[in-house]
Structure 1
Amino acid sequence: MSEGRTRAAVDAWESVFRLQATLLRRFAAQDVWGGLSVREYDVLYTLARSGGRCRLGGLSEEVYLPQPSLSRLVDRLVARGLLAREADPHDGRGVVVVLTGDGAALQREVGGRHAAGIAAEFSALSGEELAELARLCRTVLGE
């Protein structure tokens, strides 16, 4: 890879990273979370997107938390009745985390408000630009 291409890639990464960090701070400051932390919401959202259940190890990869931290977070959500833990029917050593009805309802409620905040943050982009941004991100991810 040429030096110019490497520099362009680093510049692109730095722009994406700054955008993500800035938006995460802005989103965290919004009054939309219904008593959840952003990380707790991320777990509920990830489970909803995964059909309502996921092995703890797989969930850890999706929410970018080390498994011990995720286990403590899941314990808090279980205590609130938003998640349940079940033995993995295919591997007795594994744990499946399950989104409860209350957890799914809260995720949808908070998710609607969060989606409005996301739309507001991206309001400077046209519909075509939003589609192009999503396409470019999927390309980098190999999707």
Structure 2
Amino acid sequence: MPENRTRAAVRAWESVFRLQATLLRAFAAQDVWSGLSVREYDVLYTLARCGGRSRLGELSEEVYLPQPSLSRLVDRLAAQGLLTREPDPRDGRGVVVVLTDPGAARQREIGGRHAAGIARAFEALTPAELAELTRLCAKALRG
């Protein structure tokens, strides 16, 4: 990779990283989470996006948490009745995490408020710029 391309790539990475870090801090500070942490909400959101159920190992990859940390988080959410653990029917040693009806309702409630915060965070961008940002991020992820 030529030096000027490398510098451009590093600048792009730094911009993406700063944006993500800034937004995550801002979102965590918002009063939208109904007593949940951002990580706990992310698990509910990811389960909702995955049809309401996921193997623990797959969920760990989706939410970028090591399995032991996720397991403790799942226990906290299960204690609140927001999800359950079930044996994996394909592998008796595995666990499937299932979003309960109260968990899905809480995710939708928080999700609506969180989406409004996301919209405010990106209000400086036009719809065309948002589409372009989405396209460029997807392209970078594909490699």
> Shorter-chain TM-score: what band?
over 0.9
C-alpha displacement of 1:82: 0.2
How many angstroms apart in 1 are the aligned matches of 2:138 and 2:52? 24
Partner SS state of residue 98, structure 1: strand
State the distance in 2 between where 1:124 and 1:134 align: 15
Identity, % of aligned positions? 80
Q: Which residue of 2 aligns with 1:131?
A: 131
Partner residue of 2:11?
A: 11
1-side partners of 2:29 and 2:56: how far apart? 28
Aligned residue in 1 for 2:142: 142
Normalised by the length of structure 1, the TM-score is 0.99
Match of 1:38 in 2: 38
Give the Cα separation in 2 of the matches to 1:52 and 1:142. 26
| Superimposed CA distance per residue, residues 43-79 of structure 1 (whole angstroms, 9 cap, x where no aligned partner) | 0000000000000000000111111110000000000
Aligned partner of residue 68 in structure 1, secondary structure: helix
C-alpha distance in 2, partners of 1:52/1:122?
A: 28
SS in 1 for 2:84: strand
Q: Which residue of 2 aligns with 1:66?
A: 66
Partner in structure 2 of residue 114 of structure 1: 114
* Structure 1 segment 45-124 matched on structure 2, within 5 A: 45-124=45-124
Name the aligned partner's letter for residue 46 of structure 2: T
Measure how far apart 1:39 and its partner are.
0.2
Distance in 2 separating the partners of 1:44 and 1:138: 23
Q: Secondary structure at the match of 2:103?
A: helix
**Runs (4+) of structure 1 moved beyond 3 Å?**
none
Secondary structure in structure 2 of the residue aligned to 1:97:
strand
The CA RMSD measured in Å over matched residues stands at 0.8
Q: Unpaired segments of 5 or more residues in structure 1?
A: none
Q: How many residues align?
A: 143
Alignment partners' CA distance in 1, 2:94 and 2:8: 43
How far apart are 1:129 and its partner, in Å? Answer: 0.2
The alpha carbon displacement at 1:141 in A equals 1.1
Separation of aligned partners in 1, 2:141 and 2:51 = 22
CA distance in 1, matches of 2:94, 2:4: 47
Which consecutive unaligned segments of at least 5 residues does structure 2 have? none
